[in-house]
Amino acid sequence: MSAPLEVRRLGRTRYEDAHALQQELVAARAGGTSGDVLLLTEHEPVITVGRGTSADEKRTLGATGIPVVEVERGGEATYHGPGQLVAYPILLLPEARRDLHRYLRDLEEVVIGVLSELELEGTRRPGLTGVWLGAQKVCSIGVAVRRWVTWHGLALNLHTDLAPFRRFHPCGLSSDVMTRVADHVELPATTLLGEVLLVKHLCRVFALELPPMPPLAPPSESGGSCGPGFLPLPVL
């Protein structure tokens, strides 16, 4: 049986604000007062530094001119900015899925599914986390788990400016390793298509489902329809 998933589209956010919201939702999910939630956002420019970042690399990040934030996730330093789809699944992993290596592979499978819808072949690299297009990386993944509730997540470069990646070693790799989907296929100017596809494949991989669609709003006094009334719902 599929579990329900609430999707919140946050738009453009400061990293600190999205991080605080994640902490709030993780506590609620672990305490049993809320269900599974997926946050979708684009961040203002920021470099996040995971637990795997070396001391030498941390010292170089201050010269990038981009704000730097140290966080709880695994992995090394990466860049977030406009044009990048960031997804934070706040999921209580069922007992059968309580394996962090499997969780990382499942997130990769979600992104590979998204890329396949765009007729692109996403691949994995042995010993590395993330998704690649050919010889370049298109999606970075770094996660944390608290009481088997997941947080942090993935960042898929849709039409991101890649120049900031070249100022350091993203994920500990070469400074020119990153690519973006828009360099391989034509994309709309917003992240909406990526959001829709990511929700679809997250639900597929993790056996989740969206809440039922709301009924149409009643006709207005002038006889016209008021539309489907999505505004009160934090879902796609």
**102 closest CA partner among 35, 135, 71, 148:** 148
pLDDT higher than threshold 90 for residue 200: yes
Q: Does residue 227 form part of some domain?
A: no
Reported as a single tens digit per residue, the pLDDT across 49-91 is 999 988 888 989 989 999 999 999 998 999 999 999 999 999 9
Residue 103 domain-assigned? yes
**Residue range of the domain that includes 192:** 3-209
Q: According to the model, what pLDDT value does residue 221 have?
A: 55
**Is residue 235 in a domain?**
no
Ranking 34-38, 171-175, 190-194 by mean pLDDT, the lowest is 171-175
CATH code of the domain containing 129: 3.30.930.10
pLDDT for 129 beyond 90 = yes
The answer to whether residue 94 is domain-embedded is yes
Nearest to 44 by CA among 10, 75, 8, 71: 10
Do residues 200 and 112 lie in contact, with contact meaning Cβ atoms separated by under 8 Å? Answer: no
Residues 6+ apart with CB under 8 A from 153: 86, 87, 88, 89, 107, 141, 142, 143
Which of 139, 171, 203, 226 does the annotation list as catalytic?
Answer: 171
- Residue 13 covered by a domain: yes
Q: Are 8 and 234 in contact (CB under 8 A)?
A: yes
Total structural domains in the chain? 1
Catalytic residue flag (residue 139): no
Q: Max CA-CA distance within the chain? A: 67
- Report residue 13's pLDDT band, with 50, 70 and 90 as the boundaries: very high
Report the length, in residues, of the chain.
236
Q: Which is more confidently placed, 28 or 1?
A: 28
Strands annotated E in the chain: 3-13, 36-43, 46-49, 68-70, 78-80, 84-90, 131-133, 136-146, 149-157, 208-209
